[in-house]
Structure 1
Amino acid sequence: MILSPFEWTIAKRYMLPGKGERFIALVAGISLVAVMLGVAALVIVMSVMNGFRAELFDKIVSLNGHAIIQGYGGRIDNWQDVLEDVRKTQGVTRASPLIEQPLASTFNGRAELVLVRGNTKEDIARLAPKVKAGDLAQLQPGERNVAIGSELARNLGAQVGDTITVFNPLGRSTPFGTVPRQIGYHVSAIFEIGVYDLDERFVVMPMKDAQTLLLTGDQIGMIELTTTNPDKVDQILAPLERKLAGRAVVVDWKQMNSSLFEALAVERVAMFVVLSIIVLVAVFNILSSLIMLVRAKTRDIAILRTMGATRRSLLKVFVTAGFCIGAAGTVAGLILGFVFLYFRQPIVRLVEVLTGQNLWDPSIRFLTELPARADPVEIGVISVMALIFSFLATLYPAFKAASTDPVQVLRYE
C-alpha cells in the first residue's frame, strides 16, 4: 500500500496527536506496549521451549544414541555378527556394543541406585567434553577405574580418588545361597551431561570390567547406534528391524522418551495458542485508540473530504496509522524478547535472589540451566501474525472514517 505525500503527512499527524488529544496518545502508547509485551512473551516462551527440547534431545542422544538394539533376555547372541550388520545398514553412521544394568553403589555409609554402563574405549572418549574433574584416560580394562555423574558424586559424597563399591545381587552361588558380588572401583573422573537423571545415576566403566562385574562373559546386552537423520530413524532402521525379528528388538529415541517429548509438543502448542490470544487482545487496544481518533477527528475528516480527499485516501491514512503502531510494537517486542533471552540466566538468578525461591531445580527441570533456541521460521510466524492482527484491527475504524459524510457533519458545525 503506497501512500502519497499528502496521505503520509496526514497519517503522521494522526500518529502523533496534539496537546488536546493526550488521552488518545496515551491509549495508542498503551496499545504499542501491549503488542510489544505480547510478542516478547511469545518469542521468549517459544524459544525457551524449543531450547528445552533441543538441549534435552542433544544431551540424551549424546549418551544414548538415536536407537538401541536390545537382545531378548538382556543378551544378544552372536553380537559381533549383528554389530557388523548394523554398521552396514544405510543411514547408520555409528554403532557400538553397550552393557547397561541397574545396580547399587555405596560409599562412606551412603547408598544410591546406579546404572552401570560398560562402554568401548571410543565411547568413553566421547565423554571428554563433559568431564568436570579427573581423567578419562585412566579408565582402562582391568584397572577398576570408573567415571560417575556429578549428581551421583554429590549424593554419595565421593570425589576423584575415592573408592566406591558396586553391588551385583546376582552373584556366585555357594552352599549357603547366592552371595551378592561387590567390587570396589576407583573414581577416576566426574562428568556432567546436563540432564539431572543421567548425572544422578550413571557409572561408566570399560566394557571388560562391566562384563566381569555382571558375570556375562563375552556377551553384551545391547548395541547403541547413531543415524544420519534422527527424525527419520524409524525409516532408516526399518530394514534392520525386519532382519533382526525374533533375535532382538530395535528401540529408537522417540520410543525411549515418547512420554516426555509428546508432553513437550502438546505444551508447546498450548502455550503458542494462549500467548497468541494475548497478542490478539493487545491489538484490540489499537482498535479502540483508532475508534477514539476517528471520533475526535470527524470534523477534520469532513473538511478533508470537502477539499477533495477520496475515501480511499482516508482509508489508507487510518490503516497506516494503526498498522504503524502494531509494527512498532512488534519490532520492540522482538528486541525485548531477544534481550531477555540473551540475559536469561542472570535474570533467573536475580529473580531467585529477590524471591528467595529456587526457580530452576535441575531435579525437576531435567536440565541444569534454562535453555533457549530461537527458530527463525517461528520468529517470522510470530511477527507476521502480530502484523496481520494489527492490520485487521485497523479496518473497522478506517472504513468508518472513509464512510464519513461531510454534509451531515458540517451541517451542524
Structure 2
Amino acid sequence: MRLPFFFARRYLFSKKSLNAINIISTISVVGVLVSSAALVIVLSFYNGMEKLILSLYSSFAPELRIEPAKGKVFNASSKVFQDLRHNIDIRSYSEILEDKVLIEYNNQQFIAQIKGVEPKSLTEANHQNMLYAGNLGIYRDSVNFALVGAQVQANLRIPIQGYNNYIQLFSPRKGSSANSINPMDDINQRQISPCGILQYHQGFDNLIITPIEFAKDLLNEYEEVSAVEIYMKDSTQVPSLQEKTQKQLGADFIVKNREQQNPLLYKTIRSEKWIVFFILTVIGVIAIFNIIGSLTMLVIDKKQDMIILKSLGANNKLIQRIFFYEGIMIAFIGGIIGIAIGLAFCLLQEKFGIIRTGEGANSIMDIYPVDIRASDFFLVFITVMLVSSLVSYVASLLSVREIKEEGIRTND
C-alpha cells in the first residue's frame, strides 16, 4: 500500500510536464470543493428554516395533547386527569374545548375555530411569542377577551383597541330541535372583544382563543372537553410522561406529542431535506466526474513510467492502486477544503447575517437562519468520499487497460 500511495502523492503534488494536467487536476479539486461547500451550506440553511418553522409551530402546539380515541369530547374529571393537573413536573395543564363557530363583525362573517383554554395556561406556557399585537389577558377583571388569528382579523378587519370592537359569535344550540318558528332560537349568540392578534401561522390563522368558560357557554357544553394540553418544566421528560399517561388512560384516549399532533408537517420537512440533499448530490457527482478526466490525462503523461514499472515487476493491481489513490486524494483535499469553506460561510451568516430576506421589521425573519449540525458535515464527507471512490475505481480500471494496450503495441 505504501508504494502506490507514494507514487500517487508524488504525481499529485509534484510539477507535471504538461500544463493541461495541472489545470485539469485543479479543476477536479475545485469541483469536489464546490460541491462539498454547496452541500454543507444548503443543508445548514435548510436546518435553520426547519428549526424556525418547528419553533413557530411549537409556539402553538403543546408538548402533549390528550384526545379521545372516538368522538369529539370526553369527561376530564377522572383521577388520572386530576393527578396530571397536580403533577409537579408539569408547568401548564389546560382543558380545551374546540368547535366551529360563525363570527360576525361590521356585517362581515367568517367561519372560525374557537378554542377555549384556561386563561392562566397562556402565561404559564409563555405564549408571548405567538402574539403579533396585543396581549395575552383573555380574562381580566371578570371580563372575557379573545385572541384572534391573522386570517380572522384580515377578513373581518377587527380592531384590538376601542370601545366598539365587539365581535358576535354564533353556534348551534346543543339538543335543539328544528321545529322552532324563529331559527335564532336554536342558535347561541355571544359577544366578545379581542385583546390580541396571533402571529401568522398556517393551520392557526382561523383560530379564536377565548376563556374555556366562555367557550362552554357558547357551545352549550358544560361537562365535557375536547382535549387536555400539557407543557412540561423539563422537555426531556415528555416521552416518559407520554408513555406513562397512555398506559393509565388506555385505548379510549390518545396521548400525542408535537410530532404526532401534526405528522404531515414533520414528514414534509424531513422529506424535503432529503430531496434537496439528493438533488445537490447528483449535481456534485457531475463535478466529481472531473476526476476521470484528470486521471486520464495523468495516465497519458505517466504512461512511460508505468511501462517501466511493469518491466520492473509491477503488476496491474499496483498500477491501478496508484491512480485510485490519486483520485481519492483529489476528493479528500477538495472535500475537506469545501467543508471548511462551507462551515466558515455558515458561521459568517450566523454572526453577521450576510444573506437577508429583505422583509420589513415585522417579518418573521429578516436574516436567513442557519443551524450548523456536525452530522451534516459527516454525511457530506462520507457521500463525497463514497462517490469519489467509485469514480476513481472506474478511472483506475480504464487507466490500467490503456497502459496494457500500450504495452502490447510496444511489444509488437
Q: Please give the TM-score of this superposition, normalised by the length of structure 2.
A: 0.73
In the TM superposition, structure 1's runs of 4+ consecutive aligned residues that sit over 6 Å from their partners are: 1-6, 88-93, 231-234, 303-316, 367-370, 409-412
The one-letter code sitting in structure 1 at the alignment partner of 2:330 is: I
Question: Aligned to 1:277, what secondary structure does the other structure show?
Answer: helix
Q: Report how far residue 254 of structure 1 moved.
A: 4.4
Deviation larger for 307-316 or 209-218: 307-316
One of 184, 187, 190 as aligned partner of 1:183: 190
CA distance in 2, matches of 1:207, 1:150: 21
Q: Verify: 1:330 aligned to 2:335, yes or no.
A: yes
One of 193, 196, 202 as aligned partner of 1:196: 202
Question: Aligned to 1:74, what secondary structure does the other structure show?
Answer: coil
1:357 corresponding residue in structure 2: none
1:290 corresponding residue in structure 2: 295
One of 164, 167, 171 as aligned partner of 1:165: 167
2:248 corresponding residue in structure 1: 240
Q: Report how far residue 312 of structure 1 moved.
A: 9.1
2:153 corresponding residue in structure 1: 153
2:24 corresponding residue in structure 1: 27
The answer (yes or no) to whether the contact 1:314–1:402 under 8 Å persists in 2 is no
CA distance in 1, matches of 2:158, 2:102: 15
1:394 corresponding residue in structure 2: 392
After superposition, what is the alpha-carbon deviation per residue over 1:371-409, rounded to whole angstroms, capped at 9, x for unaligned?
65443223212212212322343345557469958x959
1:132 corresponding residue in structure 2: 132
After superposition, what is the alpha-carbon deviation per residue over 1:185-232, rounded to whole angstroms, capped at 9, x for unaligned?
22222232x63221x122222222222332323543221135746677
Q: Report how far residue 240 of structure 1 moved.
A: 2.8
Provide closer, same or farther for how the CA distance between residues 78 and 266 of structure 1 changes in structure 2, counting only shifts above 3 A. Answer: closer
CA distance in 2, matches of 1:189, 1:17: 72
Q: Report how far residue 111 of structure 1 moved.
A: 3.0
CA distance in 1, matches of 2:240, 2:225: 27
Provide closer, same or farther for how the CA distance between residues 144 and 225 of structure 1 changes in structure 2, counting only shifts above 3 A. Answer: closer
Q: Report how far residue 273 of structure 1 moved.
A: 3.8
Provide closer, same or farther for how the CA distance between residues 166 and 306 of structure 1 changes in structure 2, counting only shifts above 3 A. Answer: farther
The answer (yes or no) to whether the contact 2:355–2:368 under 8 Å persists in 1 is no
CA distance in 1, matches of 2:5, 2:79: 78
- Number of aligned residues: 391
Question: Aligned to 2:140, what secondary structure does the other structure show?
Answer: coil
Q: Report how far residue 143 of structure 1 moved.
A: 1.4
Provide closer, same or farther for how the CA distance between residues 281 and 264 of structure 1 changes in structure 2, counting only shifts above 3 A. Answer: same
2:99 corresponding residue in structure 1: 101
The one-letter code sitting in structure 1 at the alignment partner of 2:291 is: I
Which structure 1 segments of 5+ residues have no match? 353-360
The one-letter code sitting in structure 1 at the alignment partner of 2:96 is: L
Question: Aligned to 1:196, what secondary structure does the other structure show?
Answer: coil
Q: Verify: 1:257 aligned to 2:265, yes or no.
A: no
Aligned ranges 1:12-411 → 2 under 5 Å: 12-14=12-14, 17=16, 20-22=18-20, 24-47=21-44, 49-71=46-68, 73-79=71-77, 81-87=79-85, 95-125=93-123, 126-137=126-137, 139-140=139-140, 142-161=142-161, 163-171=165-173, 176-179=182-185, 180-192=187-199, 195-198=201-204, 200-217=205-222, 219-226=224-231, 228=236, 235-242=243-250, 245-246=251-252, 248-302=253-307, 318-335=323-340, 337-338=342-343, 339=345, 343=349, 347=355, 349=357, 373-398=371-396, 400=399, 408=407
The one-letter code sitting in structure 2 at the alignment partner of 1:158 is: I
CA distance in 1, matches of 2:27, 2:35: 12
Which structure 2 segments of 5+ residues have no match? none
Deviation larger for 32-41 or 204-213: 32-41
CA distance in 2, matches of 1:12, 1:186: 75
Question: Aligned to 1:136, what secondary structure does the other structure show?
Answer: coil
Question: Aligned to 2:57, what secondary structure does the other structure show?
Answer: helix
CA distance in 1, matches of 2:339, 2:102: 50
Provide closer, same or farther for how the CA distance between residues 84 and 369 of structure 1 changes in structure 2, counting only shifts above 3 A. Answer: farther
Q: Report how far residue 286 of structure 1 moved.
A: 0.8
Q: Report how far residue 284 of structure 1 moved.
A: 1.9
Q: Report how far residue 239 of structure 1 moved.
A: 0.3
The answer (yes or no) to whether the contact 1:315–1:402 under 8 Å persists in 2 is no
The answer (yes or no) to whether the contact 1:147–1:204 under 8 Å persists in 2 is yes
Question: Aligned to 1:185, what secondary structure does the other structure show?
Answer: strand
Provide closer, same or farther for how the CA distance between residues 169 and 283 of structure 1 changes in structure 2, counting only shifts above 3 A. Answer: same
Question: Aligned to 1:327, what secondary structure does the other structure show?
Answer: helix
CA distance in 2, matches of 1:346, 1:164: 45
1:356 corresponding residue in structure 2: none
Identity %: 20
The answer (yes or no) to whether the contact 1:44–1:341 under 8 Å persists in 2 is no
Provide closer, same or farther for how the CA distance between residues 110 and 230 of structure 1 changes in structure 2, counting only shifts above 3 A. Answer: farther
The one-letter code sitting in structure 1 at the alignment partner of 2:81 is: L
Deviation larger for 373-382 or 34-43: 34-43
The answer (yes or no) to whether the contact 1:298–1:401 under 8 Å persists in 2 is no
The answer (yes or no) to whether the contact 2:28–2:287 under 8 Å persists in 1 is yes
CA distance in 2, matches of 1:249, 1:340: 41
